[in-house]
Amino acid sequence: MNGLGGLNKSPNGVGIGVVQLQLPVTKTKADLTAQTARVVELVAKARRNQPGMDLVVFPEYALHGLSMDINPEIMCEMDGPEVAALREACIDNKIWGCFSIMELNPGGMPYNTGLIFSDTGELKLYYRKMHPWVPVEPWEPGDTGIPVCEGPNGSTLALIICHDGMFPEMARECAYKGAEIMIRTAGYTAPIRDSWRFTNQSNAFCNLMITANVCMSGSDGTFDSMGEGMICNFDGSVIAHGTTGRPDEIITAELRPDLVREARRHWGVENNIYQFGHRGYVAVKGGAGDCPYTYMTDLAAGQYRLPWEDEIVTTDGRDFGFPTPTRAYGEKEC
């Protein structure tokens, strides 16, 4: 059920629109300013498009484009004019907004940062991408963990970015921390289409969680992004899907976080987010709550190592024109 794309929103519903934003080309500060203005225009379009829309979501690289340019001139700062304009757009249009910036990081590579503002302009969620799409992306690995926040109409939101969604642990962490709606913003291009679709659905089903997902759309003359706005219900079914990839189309749906809460409490079979930590509770009281997964215990101990690790060919970004890094995670350049 999607309430005819949110046209018939119930008292418990959350109206969402995911914007298949036209892929921009951003080379200069003037380009960045112009693209920010374009996103602000589309926030207003979202509000006009549907009075019942509570949250509008823009894809990764909405301001920056896919050039991977780390020129400081086109990086954003949290107290800069771009973030101020996005915040003001939410206030002016009385709508929640999810946005993407490439954030200046003195002493390191820029962060790929996601922001959620409320309809009063309050910063509700700040997230730095945990898993840059290596070896293509140069961004600093995120250091904020995976936050969740209160969303519209009593919902609980989480945000992950693009490649993050290929790691089932990311969606599981969102759900474990209480997210009922997980947003996934992306700049993916067409070769990832099938992987995008089935991970969006599996992330939903495996965690009894709604996933709202969107990519950039159209061409910048080099890359062709695919749009693929895709909203999946907690049972893995697709509520809405932008299959045409039309640039700037807003894919809408009504989400029901109250039904997520109901399923998490009342499902027996396939309540996997609960059963993961209570294995075999029919046989043993409360189920087994141990951690039998070697990769988890090794990672926690700083000893994560694959059996074929010494044979892996690509372990840095040289194939994509980036120098081999010498700075360890957490260190800053002087």
Q: Catalytic residue positions? A: 60, 129, 162
- Inter-residue contact 104 to 136 (CB < 8 Å): no
Amino acid, res. 225 = S
CA dist 66 and 161 (Å) reads 14
- Whether the CA torsion 244, 249, 254, 255 is positive or negative: it is positive
Q: Are strands 181-186 and 156-161 parallel, antiparallel or unpaired?
A: parallel
What does the chain come to in residues? 334
CA dist 307 and 320 (Å) reads 26
Sheet with 14-20, strands from edge to edge, namely 123-128, 111-117, 96-103, 55-57, 14-20, 249-255
Token pair 């823009």 in the structure block, residue:
58
Instruction: Count CA atoms closer than 13 A to 152's CA, side-chain side.
Output: 26
CA dist 130 and 300 (Å) reads 16
Instruction: Count CA atoms closer than 13 A to 217's CA, side-chain side.
Output: 22
Q: Where are the alpha helices (DSSP H) in the chain?
A: 3-6, 29-49, 81-93, 168-176, 193-205, 257-266, 272-275, 294-300
CB atoms within 10 A of CB 99: 28
CA dist 312 and 324 (Å) reads 16
CA dist 165 and 233 (Å) reads 16
92 conformational bin, left if phi > 0, alpha if psi -120 to 50, beta if neither:
alpha
Nearest to 152 by CA among 171, 178, 184, 180: 180
